[in-house]
Structures are given as C-alpha cells and as structure tokens.
Amino acid sequence: MAYLVFLLLLPWPAIAAAAQPLQNLSPLTAEEQRGQQIFEKGRSARGSKIEASLPGGVRVPASAVPCAGCHGIDGLGRPEGGIVPANVTWDALTKPYGHVRPDGRTRVPYTDRTLRRAVTMGFDASGNELSSVMPRFQLTMRDAADLIAYLKKLGETVDPGLTASTVRLGVLLPREQTVKNKQLVRQAMLHYFASVNGAGGVFGRAIETSFTELPSDTARQSAAILDFLHDQHVFAVLGDFTGAEPEIAAVMLKTATPAIAAIAPSPQTDSPLNRYVFYLDGGVTEQRNASDLKSADQRNWERATAAAEIITEAMTRAGRALTRGGLVQALEGFSNVQTSLPAPVSFGPNRRVGISGVQASALDPSNPAMGGRL
C-alpha cells in the first residue's frame, strides 16, 4: 500500500518513464486497472453494481453502455450519427484554457469532484447540463475514485513500440508475389526510414522496422498478426494487406493499433468506421487500372514509399508526446498532403481512403488508359 501511495504521488511523466522498460507488464496501478475495467467493460472490480440511466429514465447495467463504447478505448471520442461524445482524456478534460464544445459552449477545466459529478449527475465542470445521450452512472465513491484514477491515465499510457529514443513500426510484406517484389517493399521502407533517421528521426526517435509475411491460410492470419504485434512490440503497422484486409482490420481495431495499407484491393470501409486503419486508395479499380500502366515492381516501390512518407508525416504532426491516439488524430487531419505519388492524400474523421476517385499510381494524363476514366 505504501508503495502504491508513493507511485500516486509521483508526477505522471516520471511514472510513464519508469513504465517504459516494462512494456509487456501492465503500466497501470491496481486502482487504475479497476478504473480501466469500469471504463472499458462497465463492471466494478469491487463487486458493486453499476447502473446507468439512459434518456427517458431507463436504467440498464453499465456493462451495456460502457464509457469506451461511446468515448472509444483511447477516450478520444468518435462522432457517430451526429453525436459527438467528448474527448475524455485527462489532457482534454483539464486543459487550462478550458474547452470549446462542438456547439461553441465552453467550460472550465475539470477537477476530481466536478468529474465525478459529470459522470453521476450529468453536469459539466461549469455546471451546464450535459446532453442526455451521456448516461448518468450510479457509482460508489470508491468506484468513482478508481474510474477517475484511470481517466487521469488515459492518453498518458505508454503505447507499445515507443521509447524516448525509438519508435518501432511493423511492415507486412506482400504475399504470393515474387521474391523480388517482397524485397522491393522492404527496400523502399528501409531506404525511406534511413533517410528520416539520418536527419535525426522524428522528435529524436529513430524509426525501427520489423518485417513479417502473413501465412496464406486465412484461418491462421489473425493469430499471426496478433503474435507479430505482441512479439515485436509494434507501435503501428504499414504494408501490403492484400487478401487479408478483414483479418488485419479486425486485429488493428481490437488492439488499437494504427495501420496504413499501402496495397489493399479490398479496403474495409463499411460502417461502423474502423478508426485505426487507413488505406492509400480505394482499392480494386485503381489497382487494376494502374497495373496496366506500370510494372508491379514500380507500383509496389511507390506505394511502400508513400505509406512510409505518410506515417512519418503523421508522427511529426502528432508531436513529441506521440501516442497511438495522437497518430490517428494526426492522420485524420491530412488534407491534400503531397507524397511521392502524383495525387495528394486526404483523410478525415469519417474518411479512411486517402486517394479516392482517382488512381494512386498513375495520374499521367498523357496515358491513353486515363481517357475513359476522367
């Protein structure tokens, strides 16, 4: 217990730094872990019953409407059907200059007390009533303390693959292609990241890469990706998703791992939006046409390089305090970003296809194949 209190008294960055070498152990204290269970599952680790009141006074177990269901596992909030669940990371809740809601209303920073009131009674830090979409939760004082301890940690957790001096990216190599083709994707990535590292890395972090190739047996793919992420401590993934698009997307969502598909004939863009996976372009049509125009070699090289450029730019925009959530937000801010491909790349909160409607690899208007398309 004394040790616990000692940990809680440390300033947060000290805890984060201390947690870094222990990445496969949980960096969370017991209290924070109990809070995490409430946040993600709606269940109290202390055995108390947590109830939520919904609009109209309907009461349901909190496990039916856990915080993460609306605010996201990372707490950043994702707009859905016109409703914007707030960003509930500690940073956002306590910004010293207050916070402007999408509707323009402002509030002062939260304290532990006003945060408990928001969750249990539905008033924000300035006393404004929150939308009834945000359930009111019946929490014991101890459950509330656990939850708040975890909210303080949200957004501060050290993500896998990240240290003060390195960031590790996982690269999926093309399957069922020639050895030369695999080498090209590998070389394109190594070549680009070597130049970034040569110029000092991203905020002093050197980019490291781990390469893998998925098994062709679909049934084994999900487990293979999970093993790869776990064994290699990968911060984010990029590469060739061909033939395993749904499996890869599901694992990325489950593990909250950002990913950039350089090559993916079947992007998974159905609703609900998978926050974590970004596709270079719209897939099949683009690639089939492009293959008329360029050799597969050249295409793979260009796309691998573009994916490397995109993730480097996003990490740069996410800043020194890089997190997976921050990386996703930075990608969502891409508007007409130039890469070495001819067409610019744009993403958004509801957009996961970077180059849409046009071909990623071949925008050469002098090419006869373009005539029928544009």
The residue among 86 and 188 lying less far from ligand HEC, judged by its C-beta, is: 86
The residue among 146 and 286 lying less far from ligand HEC, judged by its C-beta, is: 146
Residue among 7, 16, 27, 101 that touches ligand HEC (CB under 6 A): 101
Question: Hey, is 368 helix, strand or coil?
Answer: helix
Residue among 26, 106, 131, 340 that touches ligand HEC (CB under 6 A): 131
Task: State how far the alpha carbon of 175 is from the alpha carbons of 90, 170, 180, 186, in Å.
Answer: 42, 15, 12, 13
The residue among 335 and 350 lying less far from ligand HEC, judged by its C-beta, is: 350
Residue among 133, 164, 321, 369 that touches ligand HEC (CB under 6 A): 133
- Residue 80 CB, shortest distance to ligand HEC, in Å, is 9
Separation between Cα atoms, residue 114 and residue 123, nearest integer Å: 8
Q: Which residue is nearest to ligand HEC (CB)?
A: 67
Give the residue ranges of DSSP H helices in the chain: 2-9, 12-19, 30-41, 67-71, 90-93, 112-121, 141-153, 179-198, 218-232, 245-255, 284-293, 296-318, 324-332, 368-371
323 Cβ neighbours under 8 A, 6+ residues apart = 74, 155, 157, 159
Give the CA dihedral 148, 154, 158, 162, nearest 10 degrees: 180
30-41 vs 141-153: helix axis angle to the nearest 10?
90
Question: Hey, is 243 helix, strand or coil?
Answer: coil
Binding segment (CB under 6 A) for ligand HEC, from list 14-22, 99-107, 161-169, 245-253: 99-107
- Window 302 to 321, contacts with ligand HEC (CB under 6 A): none
Binding segment (CB under 6 A) for ligand HEC, from list 24-32, 130-138, 173-181, 237-245: 130-138
The residue among 80 and 231 lying less far from ligand HEC, judged by its C-beta, is: 80
The residue among 39 and 192 lying less far from ligand HEC, judged by its C-beta, is: 39
The residue among 65 and 370 lying less far from ligand HEC, judged by its C-beta, is: 65
Binding of ligand HEC at residue 225 (CB under 6 A)?
no
Q: What tokens appear for 370 in the block?
A: 């373009």
Binding residues for ligand HEC, how many (CB under 6 A)? 23
**DSSP state letter for 281:** E
The residue among 28 and 130 lying less far from ligand HEC, judged by its C-beta, is: 130
- How many CB atoms sit inside 10 A of residue 285's CB? 13
The residue among 115 and 185 lying less far from ligand HEC, judged by its C-beta, is: 115
Separation between Cα atoms, residue 361 and residue 374, nearest integer Å: 15
Give, in degrees to the nearest 5, the angle at Cα 123 between 117 and 125: 80
Are 117 and 150 spatial neighbours (Cβ–Cβ below 8 Å)? Answer: no
- Residue 67 CB, shortest distance to ligand HEC, in Å, is 3
Contact letters for ligand HEC, residues 51-90 (x by CB under 6 A): --------------x-x-xxx-----------x-xx-x--
Residue among 76, 118, 144, 196 that touches ligand HEC (CB under 6 A): 118
Task: State how far the alpha carbon of 364 is from the alpha carbons of 316, 342, 356, 367, in Å.
Answer: 30, 8, 16, 6
Binding of ligand HEC at residue 108 (CB under 6 A)?
no
- Residue 104 CB, shortest distance to ligand HEC, in Å, is 11
Binding of ligand HEC at residue 134 (CB under 6 A)?
yes
The residue among 95 and 351 lying less far from ligand HEC, judged by its C-beta, is: 95
Q: What tokens appear for 136 in the block?
A: 């009111």
Looking only at the bridges linking them, the beta strands covering 259-263 and 136-138 are unpaired
Phi, psi of 55 (to 5 degrees): -55, 140
Residue among 130, 250, 256, 273 that touches ligand HEC (CB under 6 A): 130
The residue among 65 and 190 lying less far from ligand HEC, judged by its C-beta, is: 65
Residue among 99, 152, 153, 168 that touches ligand HEC (CB under 6 A): 99
- How many CB atoms sit inside 10 A of residue 114's CB? 18
Residues that bind ligand HEC (CB under 6 A): 65, 67, 69-71, 83, 85-86, 88, 99, 101, 107, 115, 118-119, 124, 130-131, 133-135, 137, 147
